[in-house]
Structure formats: C-alpha cells, structure tokens
Amino acid sequence: MFLSLTIGKGRYGEVWRGTWHGENVAVKIFSSRDEQSWFRETEIYNTVLLRHDNILGFIASDMTSRNSSTQLWLITHYHEHGSLYDYLQCTVLDVETCLRLATSIICGLVHLHVEIFGTQGKPAIAHRDLKSRNILVKNNKQCCIADLGLAVMHSQSNDYLDIGNNPRVGTKRYMAPEVLDEQIRMDCFESFKRTDIWAYGLVLWEIARRTIVNGIIEDYKPPFFDLVPVDPSFEDMKKVVCIDQQTPTIPNRMFSDPALSSLAKIMKECWFQSPPARLTALRIKKTLKKLSNSFHKPKHSPNF
C-alpha cells in the first residue's frame, strides 16, 4: 500500500489517496479518539453484504502500527470528485444532473434502510450521519453514501436493535428536531430511519440551490446558513429547529420549474416536525424515478 496524497482532514482523522495492486483507493485513517467509528464501520462492512452502486465500496480494514502508534485504516474505492459538499462548491448543475444526484442518494438510502432476507440478505440499517460531506460523487455523476461509523442495524426475525456503543453523535446542523430535543425513541428502529429522511431533505435542498434554471442559481450554502453560526452548538440548532420550527428557505425560482418544484415538495415532506409524517426512503425513490423518467421521455420514433 502506497499513500500519495491527503484528500481530506477533519475531527475523524484524515483521508488519503493511495495505490493498492495498481488501483487508486481511498484510505481513511481514524484519529484515536474516534476508534469506535472504525470498529463500527469495520463491523458493518464485515458482517453485512453491502455491495451496492450507491454505497461506498469497501475493500479492507486494517489495524496497523506506524511511528510506534496504532493506526486504524479503512480502505475503500476512490472517487476523484470527492464529497458532494466539495462538488457543489464548484459545480453548476443542470436539472438532469440534479435529479441524477438526488435519485442515486435515495437509492443508496433505500438499500440501507431495507432488510433483505435469505442467504444474501442484510439487516435494515439507518445511517444517522447523512450529510453532503458523507456522500461521494462518482464519475458517472451518481453518488454513493459513505461513513457508517454511527449506523444502527435491525433484524425483524429476532427484533434485535444493534445501536453499537459509539460516543460520537451526528452532525448538529443535520440533526432532526426529535434528536435535538432528545425526544427520539432510541429503542425503536423506525425512529432512526426518520432522522435519515430529515437529513436527506437538507441534502436535497443543497443540491437544488446549485441547479440552474433560466440562468438563475444560488451560491453553495450549508442548510440553516442564515440562521446559525458556522459551527453551530446543540443549543443554536435546538432554538432554530425545535423552538422556532424553522426549515431552510426554498428560493421562489424553484417553483417556476416543474422538476425543482417537485423536489421542493419532497423537501417539505422530509421536514415535518412529526417523524411518522415524513416520507419514507422508498416513497421518495419512486417519486424521483418517475420524475427522472418524465424527463427522459424518448423522442417518438416513427411507426413503421
């Protein structure tokens, strides 16, 4: 394994581009304070068959000794566009690309959320830290979901909810109201899926703002940029989301485009204060597939 370039740094540790057997790979090196995330992600990738186009491909996990300290590595597929967050900063989207990104993320989320039975099966999984920095953009302009360090698993057969024991919490900016006001039912798997949907609505808002219609577009901004500081506290978010019950402002221009106004409707239905009222991932996937298909209506071929 040869590490060539740092491509990301954060509280979690750092991500390097590396080469392994002649292929580019991404190597996430976890900081010692976040070893639980490494354990969790390793455990999930090693026990669950998670091969899916819209979930980051896992290659290997390793505990290695470097500079007389233990390093925790997670080796995955490499995607040169980087995170959706990075991609949106510098890319103007057309409606088709916007729909492609949005649909691919929800396809990944549906695959996580659903339990598949049988020998090739998987438990249901909720992500718990969905955000534009944890989604990667592939060369084909589809996305894949990364970072399963906080994920929870559920199997219907024995009704076992595996929450792991990670002290880390999700990203405050993307926390659903029931997480911020500590009303979430931690013993109920459905609760966790519903927090993923809240976060998905925020990611959708980030994508839609960067989508050009009639020459108009907004600069990239994170959700609630106009309401909280750059690194908001739990209390900052709680005031905006729970007490004031604010949601991100949807620019008026979106309502003049059929595709973007459909996306705006989905966003709003991800942001209900009441978790059971929110759309499910499967419902969103069906709506977006239909929307994408109407966009790709084949040109009528002559009837011979």
- Active site positions, annotated: 129
Handedness of CA 154, 157, 159, 164 (dihedral sign): negative
Phi (first) and psi of residue 213, to 5 degrees: -140, 130
| Contact yes or no for 124/113 (Cβ under 8 A) | yes
Paired tokens of 21? 């057997």
Return d(Cα 100, Cα 92) in angstroms, integer: 14
Return d(Cα 11, Cα 15) in angstroms, integer: 11
Question: What are the start-end ranges of the H helices in the chain?
Answer: 35-47, 84-90, 95-113, 177-180, 189-209, 234-238, 258-270, 281-295
Paired tokens of 46? 């090693």
28 annotated ligand-binding residue: yes
If DSSP codes are grouped into helix, strand and coil, which group holds residue 164? Answer: coil
| Contact yes or no for 264/255 (Cβ under 8 A) | yes
From the annotation, which residues make up the binding site for ATP? 28
